Structure formats: structure tokens, C-alpha cells
Amino acid sequence: MTKSVYLLAEIAGARVALDSASIESVVLVPTVFPAPKADPSIAGLFALRSRVLTLIDSQYLITGVRRAVEKGALAAIAEISGHHYGLLVDEVFDVVAIETDAGESRIKPASKWAALAMQTVQVDGKLVLLLDLERMVGGRQPLAA
Amino acid sequence: MRDAVGMMRMQHIDRLLSPLPRLVRDIALELGKEIDLCIEGGEVEVDREMIEALRDPLTHILRNAADHGLEPPEERRLAGKSPVGTIRIGARQSGNQILIEISDDGRGINLEKLGGRAIAARLMTAAEWQKMSEKAQLATIFQPGISTADTVSAISGRGVGMDVVRNNVQAVGGTIELENVEGRGLKTILRIPLTLSIIAGLSVRAGAQLFGVTRNSVMEIISASNPNVRFEELGGTQIASIRGERYPYGKLEDILGVDAVALPGDTSRTLIVMRPAAGATFVLDVAAVIDHEELVVKPGAPLLMESGLYAGTSLPDNGRPLLLLDASGLAQAIGATHVDERHEHASAPRAVATERAASALLFVDFAGRKRAIRLAAIERMEDIDVAQIKYVGGALRAAIGDELTEICELSEVPDEVQVKLLRLAGGKQSKYLAVADVLDICTIDGTPHPSSNPDRDEGIIHALGEPVELVNIFQYFQNDITEPLAGPEGALCFIAARDAGHWERGILAPLLQASGYRVSFDEADRKKAGVVIDAESSTDGTRDDRTVRLRDDLLSDAADTGSIYRYDRAALMAAIQSKIAGAA
């Protein structure tokens, strides 16, 4: 039985859990600078503590609709494979320990989440999608037909 | 400071290469092959971060060479090769690049087989494959999902292919090239910039956003409204010709898909002639070139680099993230790619040809007039704080460090913070030419019209549609009284000092020394001195034709004796010179 600490947040109207081992902090993003011609899941770049971070439009990964990003949007800062990202989230709830083995194997993530979510787990009686951070920075995967 | 930091970051590439023999030994054992690994150039210095960035690609290339490249011993024997395969890794510095070559004496890449894979993977049709050049065929190995391995082994052939290798190399601003001789081996050439961390960059504007470009890919910056620039279009391809030379042309806003925004203060768009590491020289049209600065460049996130347009990210002093544009990526976006290596060699004599027509820099002087100066006379342009400008020694001079340089064409210290100065090269000496503003560079077509004041103006040329005076550079250097009068060896003057010799030591000697003479008061030097300066009233010592006699009164009965009044500097100098010339 493995227990890890996760950040509970909301992306595109769904409750998700992000592995806190990769999450540094949650910030209100400062001015965002666009990255023209880059993958549409990139909302832009912003500077944080003398670093340039890539801001990922998490909502686009799920819905395929880009979100208007303004200064002050909520983002989880994560280090994924050596690069620093800001992952846009709608809301942040809590940091909780989750037993990842106790997944709800019968409840599979909906198809639009399948590319990002590893499994669904239960937290305080509510179902939560467990996200794979690596997949969040790889662009939007085409939905399986 | 930055240099020191840069030095600390540099490390021997040996750190990258030294673990490789062990790696190759392990692979050889596993594959049942005998491999001889030769490593050269471990002393080459590379940025520390670069070493980390190259570790994976290099390992991958090496595995490929050992696994796919080198044949099993029996096969090698049949092919008439030594059963022991050889892999060579050589690193060397070439200009501002590091070249790493990995060559094996294996079977090379079978293009037919590669084509079969590419067609099977539906990357192209058989017909398309047939039409491709050998080089282009070879380059398909960099396409994702291509492998020539027949079987997947623990070493390689798992689909993580050369595409990843190329991406990794490109992420640090490098290029990868293959030289394939089928049956004889493959050579992989990695070219990477010397340093990952700090580059000389230009910031340019597209729309309302700033982007960076590396300065070493920039050949020329020219205003789009320059009369030497013409635009053409042929079947949808846009072409810019600069002084008659045609280049592929692209507007940065179009390439990036952003809206062109004219900001107040924009006069004309700017063209940048860029020569990318891969691809043909092209012209990039930007809203403005803002500044040049040292940029600390970090590789961007993989997803960001995927577009191929960016070489990395940087955070300049203003705290606004800057995307660094990749010259090769821009060339590809413009379509300036189809160029073979022969073209690159051909461009060298072309550069000479464009130099044949002399260029001139157009500027506005402090009197508000447009003038021109030959570009060849200018060493560089500098912005200097007015606090560094002082009126000393009869002229305005800029004091920078220990150097004191005269500023020409500036009558008073202007009421500004900084002054633009053109540094003129004049052999050993340099001078500054003050300008109110720099306008453009133009070519001097034909012979300039003669000027009625040739000392001041070399002639009159046509630029920006109006006649402009071409500055005669000689005027700033020819009447240079600070130039020592005496020969470089410094002729020796002996001064026979009377009494304590306060005047001779305190006034005469410094005057002579300032003019380049050596001065001695030692009686022993009297014989070998070129000139002997003695008082008119002096009676001791011999008088010969080397002697210049000084008298104390301006008007004297002794005037006809050939003596010189001691404060008559001009006559004294002339006399000394003629004595030395006579002695020689």
C-alpha cells in the first residue's frame, strides 16, 4: 500500500489530484507573454523568481478550448523532467494523502481525460482524477476514435 | 565578472567522454562484438550545462554505432574488414562551435532499407522517396518512428530514435549531420555552440512583443526604407534584394502569426540579413531592432521547442521573458532551406564582391546637417556619458579608462546624458567623431562629386535621395600636433644647465620631452647628443654645429649671432630639428 501526498485542484470543472512531489507551489501568475506558433496547450511564458516558466493551459488539454489567461490566474508550479512549468488550475482545495493502490478500478476516467488521468481515486468520499504530470506537458493527445 | 563566471562554467569535454569506454565495453560484451574505441580531444572546453545536455544524445549515437553500425565479427571478416570494429570520437573547437564527430567502420545506413521503412511507416510514398536526394533520404532517419534495426535489442531499436537525438542537440542550439558510406561506415557530426549560457543577442520586435536573435547569425541590419532595398514577388515567394543581392524574405509577424502593430516612434521597419547554421541566408523583416545585449539562454520546455522556431528562453534585465528565435527554424519557416553545402562556399566570394562598392554611414552632425563618412574609417560606434567628456588640452576629449581621446566636430559639451561617438581608426591613434544621430548605411556609387572645400569634404554623394557631403577623414588626423615631432628613436638633447638650471629642468626639458626628444643633463652625454643646448652667454665648453644657443632677452644685440630667445618655442623647435637633420 503506497500513500503519497497530492494537491487537490479543479481543472475544467473536474476534481483532480496532482502529485505534490513535483509541485513546488501555487501562485497567481504575473504577466503572461505569448509564445506564438508554439503548441496550443502552451498559454505563454512568465517569469517567476528569475526563471522563465512555461504556462500550460490545462483546460485546453481536456476540452480543446483555449482559456483566456490573465494576470492573476491560479497556477500550480511544477518541475517536470527538468523543466519548470505553471499548470493553470481553476481552483485549489487541499493537500491530502491518497492511497493510490485503492483506486476505483471500476470507474474509468472519461475518454477526454483518458490521455491525462491515470486512474480515479476516492478522497473523503468524493471521486478524484489522478493526473499524470508528464502527460500534461506533452501537448494534447488526439482522442482515440 | 561575467567572464569569470563563464570561465567557471567551462569544463573539459573529457567529463562527457571518459565514461564512454566503459559503456562501449559493456555493449560489446553484451553483443558479442569486439570494439575498439578511440577518443580524441578530451581537453576541449565546453559549458557545464552543455555536457549534461549532450550526455544522452552521445550515448544514443554510440549505442547505435555499436549495435546497428558495426557488424558481427563473421560478417566483418567476410566483408574483408578486421573483425575488431572501430568507433572514433573526436572533439575539437572550431570558431565559436564545438565539433564532435563519431565515426564507425561498420556497414553504414542502407538507404534502400531506410526507404522501405519510411514508406512502410507512411511517411512518404515510394515515388516521393525516389525523387529525394541522397542527403534528403539520409535525413529521414531523423523522422520520428523510423528505425533500421531488424530487431529490438536491449541496446537500441526501441523507437526512441534519432529524432530524439536531434531534438536534444537542437535544444542546446546545435546541429547534427550524417556522412554515410554504405558498407564502409557512418560518421555523425554534432556541431554545438561553445556556450549554452551566455550569447550576444539582439532583441527585435514583432507586433508588440520582443524576441531575441543570436548576433552571430546576423550579417547585416538595414532599414527597409533604404533605397538599396527592393522587394519582389514571384509566384507567392517574397524576395528582398539588398544592393542587388536577392534573398528569401519573411516578415517575423507572418512567421509567428501575430498582428503587426505600429508603435508611436516607428519610422521604418528593419531588415536583418541572417545566415543560419542550417539553410540559406535570408532576410527577416522585423518591426524594430531594439537593443543588443548579453542574454543568458536556457533551453525551453520540449513542447515549446517543438515548433522549431525557438532556440531557448532568456530573462533579460527588464524581467520580461524573451523567446530566442532559432535562425535555422526561421529559415525553414520562410522556405530558405533547399541549399546544399556548395552554396555555403559560394557565398564567401560573394561577400567580397559586395564589399567592392564602398559604403558610407549617413549621420546628422551637431549643426543639424546630414553628412556621410566612409564606413571603413569607423572602428565602432559608442554612446558615451557626457560626464566623461572634458575640455582639456585645447579640445574636447573623452576620458575612458586611461585613454584620452579627442572628439572632433563637437564645439561644446551637449546638454544631454549621452553622446553618440563614432570611433575613427587612424593607425596608432583613434579619434571620436561626434554625431547627433546615425541614419543609415548607403553605398557610394561611382566617384563622389568634387567639393569646393576638399579639406573638409572629400566630395558629395547621393544618399536618401539628396546630395550629402562625404567627410574628409584626413582633416582629423593630418594636423595632429600631439604627434611627436622627433623620430621614433627620440634624438638625444644635451642641455648645458647653468647654476641650478631651474628653467632648463623645469620648463625646457619637459617641452622637449613632450615633443619626443630624450633629454640629458649629464656632461658625459654631451658628445653623443644630436643637439647641444647652451646659453648664449656661456663661455665654457666647445661650440660646434650641433649647438643651439639660447639668450635671455627677446631683443638683444646678440640677435645676429644666431642665438634664439628662450621663449621662442617655434624657432627653438625648428632649430633643434634642423640640427638633428643636419647631423643625420
User: Distance (Å) from the C-alpha of residue A145 to the closest C-alpha of chain B?
Assistant: 19
Question: Between β-strands B518-520 and B466-471, what pairing exists: parallel, antiparallel or unpaired?
Answer: unpaired
Burial of B103 (0-12, 13-18, 19+ CB in 10 A): buried
How far is the alpha carbon of B222 from chain A, nearest alpha carbon, in Å? 25
Interchain contact A46–B (C-beta under 8 A): yes
Which grid cell is B449?
562629386
DSSP, collapsed to helix, strand or coil, labels residue B213 as strand
Q: Which residues contact B394 (CB under 8 A, 6 or more apart)?
A: none
Chosen from A22, A31, A32, A37 to mutate, greatest number of chain B CBs within 10 A: A37
Q: What is the pLDDT of residues B242-262, one digit of tens each?
A: 888 888 899 999 899 888 887
Q: What is the reported pLDDT for A145?
A: 38
Cβ separation A45–B313 shorter than 8 A:
yes
User: Does pLDDT of B237 surpass 60?
Assistant: yes
Candidates B187, B219, B217; CA nearest to B96 is: B217
pLDDT in tens, B299-346: 788 888 888 888 888 888 788 899 999 888 888 888 876 554 444 444
Residue A32 has pLDDT above 80, yes or no: yes
Averaged pLDDT for residues B559-583: 75
* Cβ–Cβ gap A34/B258 under 8 Å: yes
Strands B45-47 and A83-88: unpaired
Cβ of B304 within 8 Å of Cβ of A35? The answer is yes
Q: What is the mean pLDDT of residues B30-38?
A: 89
Query: Is B60 exposed, middle or buried (CB count within 10 Å of its CB: 0-12, 13-18, 19+)?
Result: middle
Q: What is the DSSP letter of B553?
A: -
Which chain A residues in 56-115 lie under 8 Å from chain B, judged by CB atoms?
Answer: 81, 83, 85
Candidates B319, B339, B320; CA nearest to B328 is B339
Report ipTM (2 d.p.). 0.85
| B87: pLDDT strictly greater than 90 | yes
Tell me the nearest-neighbour CA distance from B518 into chain A, angstroms. Answer: 59
Kindly give, in sequence order, each residue whose CB lies less than 8 Å from that of residue A92, ignoring residues fewer than 6 positions away.
A7, A8, A9, A10, A26, A74, A76
Q: Round to whole Å and give the CA distance between B477 and B63.
A: 65
pLDDT at residue B195, as a whole number? 59
Closest-CA residue of chain A to B255: A37
pLDDT digits (tens, 9 = 90+) for B300-313: 888 888 888 888 88
**Rounded to 5 degrees, what are φ and ψ at B240?**
-115, 135
**Does A141 touch chain B if contact means CB atoms closer than 8 Å?**
no
pLDDT at B273: 92
Give the position of cell 545566415: B275
In chain B, % helix, strand, coil (3-state, to 5) comes to: 30, 35, 35
The Cα–Cα gap between B400 and B529 comes to 38
**Among all chains, which residue has been given the C-alpha cell 562625404?**
B470
| Mean pLDDT value across chain B | 79
Query: How close does chain B come to A139, measured CA to CA in Å?
Result: 7
A138 touches chain B (CB under 8 A): yes
For residue B207, the chain A residue with the least C-alpha distance is A36
Q: Do A137 and B298 touch (CB under 8 A)?
A: no
Beta carbons of B304 and A38 less than 8 Å apart: yes
What mean pLDDT do residues A62-84 have? 86
What are the residues of chain B with a beta carbon less than 8 Å away from any beta carbon of chain A? 206, 209, 255-258, 298, 300-304, 306-307, 309-310, 313-315, 319-321, 323
Q: What are the grid coordinates assigned to B487, written together?
A: 623620430
- pLDDT above 80: residue B267: no
User: Which residue of B257, B302, B321 is in closest CB contact with A36?
Assistant: B257
Q: Is the pLDDT confidence value at B150 over 60? A: no
In this predicted structure, the answer to whether residue A79 has a pLDDT above a threshold of 80 is yes
Residue A54, pLDDT above cutoff 90: yes
Check A54 against B309: CB less than 8 A apart.
Answer: no
Which grid cell is B52?
549534461
* A117 residue type, one letter: A
What percent of chain B is modeled with pLDDT above 70? 84
Do the beta carbons of residue B279 and residue B331 sit within 8 Å? yes
Cα–Cα distance measured from residue B194 to residue B173, given in angstroms and rounded to the nearest whole number:
10
Q: To 5 degrees, how large is the angle CA A87–CA A61–CA A136?
A: 50
Report the distance separating Cα B311 and Cα B297, nearest Å. 9
Cβ distance A31 to A41 under 8 Å? no
Which residue in A57, A60, A61, A83 sits closest to A70, CA to CA? A57
3-class SS at B561?
Answer: helix
What is the distance, to the nearest Å, from the Cα of residue B12 to the centroid of all Cα atoms in its chain? 25
B255 chain-A contacts, CB cut-off 8 A? 37
CB B235 within 8 A of CB B333: no
Within 8 A of B310 by CB-CB distance, chain A residues are 35, 38
Q: What is the pLDDT of residue B416?
A: 78
